[in-house]
């Protein structure tokens, strides 16, 4: 669904907006521009993929363009493996000092686990304000900065670091399911780059090496994609990402599974409270945090479409309720399976 809060379309005009070189009114072209080809092209692309597209509009309130394409989620999942070659870089263990600015406990645990395994010095704070306190005396080589945090968000913290602290330390934004334009926004606030959540160890390694130079040594590596089958005991959760990060560390698997089981019910409750209160800001904040929490159990493919809609789109209340119900149902099933997995550890 793509939504706007524009002038809307009258009912008797909706049937013509998919025609080539046609807009709802001649005055639209004079006032707003455009050729009348966009929706016609979209309709053709949807039809070529055996989909359907519909329009819902209210004059003076806005328009929703709703389309569906009947693809299925692949039953195969892939993970990246590293094999020796002569072009990539490998961690070294005695050069770096990294500051992690992140409020989600699951992501904190994940990054701490990776850095401990590679003996990389690091500190973790919960928000931008805490980062500003620790930075002057920290002697850090790089900052991993979440965007949406309480007290002070990542954009504000970066602006303070650049303008008031006058520090040129590389800052890498951590973005849940990065959307178009976010890299540019991050850079405009003074960040150097971004890395998408869920964070993959290989991507993190390359990003740190790119902006520090000292944190890696030349080593060979070629990426090979190999199919990894989900354990047959679970229909909803996918443990591929968790197993990739843990690398056999059962204590870590037990810790983050416990965090998932404790955090997700609270976030689902906050999501429902925000919907009841019709508080869009609180809803988007909660949904953003939920994205990070569910990724450790491999729920991205099942949930990101619905979570993105709740975070980024201006949905009608009925659509919000429907999306939230889907998210809640999948999360409830995931928690049952995660609890079963926890008992095996």
Q: At 260, list the tokens.
A: 């998932």
| Residue 15, domain member (yes or no) | yes
DSSP string covering 223-261: EEEEEEPPPTT-SS--THHHHHHHTT-HHHHHHHHHHHH
Label residues 210-223 b or e (16+ Cβ within 10 Å = b).
ebbeebbeeeebee
Where does a domain end: 17, 49, 68? 68
Residue 23 tokens, joined: 């807009």
Same domain? For 83 and 169 the reply is: yes
Q: Determine the pLDDT at residue 341.
A: 95
Nearest to 320 by CA among 279, 289, 291: 279
For residue 135, give the DSSP letter: G
Question: Based on the domain organization, do 185 and 266 belong to the same domain?
Answer: no
* Beta carbons within 10 angstroms of residue 101's beta carbon: 30
Q: What pLDDT was estimated at residue 264?
A: 97
Distance CA 191, CA 214 (A): 20
Q: What is the pLDDT of residues 100-111, one digit of tens each?
A: 999 999 999 999
CATH of the domain at 338: 1.20.120
Same domain? For 29 and 150 the reply is no
Q: CA–CA separation, 211 vs 200, rounded Å? A: 17
Q: Which of 201, 228, 255 is the last residue of a domain?
A: 228
Check if the beta carbon of residue 61 is closer than 8 Å to that of residue 8.
Answer: yes
Q: What angle do CA 57, 326, 4 make, to 5 degrees?
A: 25
Q: Are residues 188 and 269 in the same domain?
A: no
81 and 192 share a domain? yes
Same domain, 199 and 118: yes
Query: CA distances (Å), 242 to each of 128, 235, 260, 266, in order?
Result: 27, 16, 12, 21
92 within domain boundaries: yes
210 and 311 share one domain: no
Task: Say if residue 83 is in the same domain as residue 218.
Answer: yes
User: Around Cβ 65, how many Cβ atoms within 10 Å?
Assistant: 17
pLDDT of residue 142: 96
Question: How many structural domains is the chain composed of?
Answer: 3
- Ranges of the chain whose pLDDT falls below 50: 29-30, 78-89, 215-231
Q: What is the pLDDT of residues 281-311, one digit of tens each?
A: 999 999 999 999 999 999 999 999 999 999 9
Provide the residue range defining the domain that includes 258.
Answer: 240-343
Residues 267 and 137 occupy one common structural domain: no
pTM check: above 0.85: no
* 59, 98: one domain: no
Q: Nearest Cα to 89, choosing from 172, 226, 206?
A: 206
Same domain assignment for residues 150 and 27: no
pLDDT of res. 179: 62
> Distance between CA atoms of 144 and 282, rounded to whole angstroms?
24
């Amino acid at each position: 669904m793509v939504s706007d809060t524009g002038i809307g379309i009258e009912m008797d005009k909706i049937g013509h907006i998919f025609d080539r070189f046609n807009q709802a009114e001649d005055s639209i072209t004079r006032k707003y521009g455009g050729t009348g080809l966009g929706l016609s092209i979209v309709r053709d692309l949807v039809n070529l993929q055996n989909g359907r597209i519909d329009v819902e509009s209210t004059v003076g309130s806005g328009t929703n363009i709703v389309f569906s394409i009947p693809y299925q989620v692949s039953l195969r999942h892939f993970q990246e493996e590293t094999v020796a070659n002569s072009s990539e870089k490998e961690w070294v263990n005695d050069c770096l000092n990294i500051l992690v600015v992140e409020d989600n406990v699951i992501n904190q645990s994940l990054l701490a686990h990776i850095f401990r395994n590679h003996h990389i010095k690091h500190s973790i704070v919960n928000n931008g304000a805490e980062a500003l306190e620790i930075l002057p005396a920290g002697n850090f080589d790089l900052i991993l900065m979440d965007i949406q945090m309480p007290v002070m968000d990542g954009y504000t913290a970066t602006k303070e670091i650049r303008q008031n602290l006058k520090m040129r330390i590389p800052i890498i934004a951590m973005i849940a399911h990065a959307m178009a334009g976010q890299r540019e926004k991050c850079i405009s606030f003074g960040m150097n780059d971004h890395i998408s959540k869920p964070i993959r160890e290989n991507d993190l390694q390359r990003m740190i090496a790119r902006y520090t130079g000292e944190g890696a040594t030349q080593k060979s590596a070629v990426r090979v994609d190999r199919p990894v089958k989900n354990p047959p005991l679970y229909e909803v959760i996918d443990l591929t990402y968790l197993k990739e990060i843990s690398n056999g560390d059962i204590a870590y698997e037990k810790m983050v599974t416990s965090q998932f089981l404790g955090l997700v019910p609270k976030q689902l409750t906050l999501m429902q409270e925000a919907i009841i209160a019709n508080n869009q800001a609180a809803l988007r904040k909660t949904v953003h945090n939920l994205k990070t929490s569910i990724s450790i159990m491999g729920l991205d493919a099942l949930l990101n479409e619905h979570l993105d809609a709740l975070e980024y789109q201006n949905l009608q209340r009925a659509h919000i309720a429907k999306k939230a119900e889907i998210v809640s149902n999948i999360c409830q099933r995931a928690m049952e399976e995660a609890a079963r997995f926890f008992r095996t550890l």
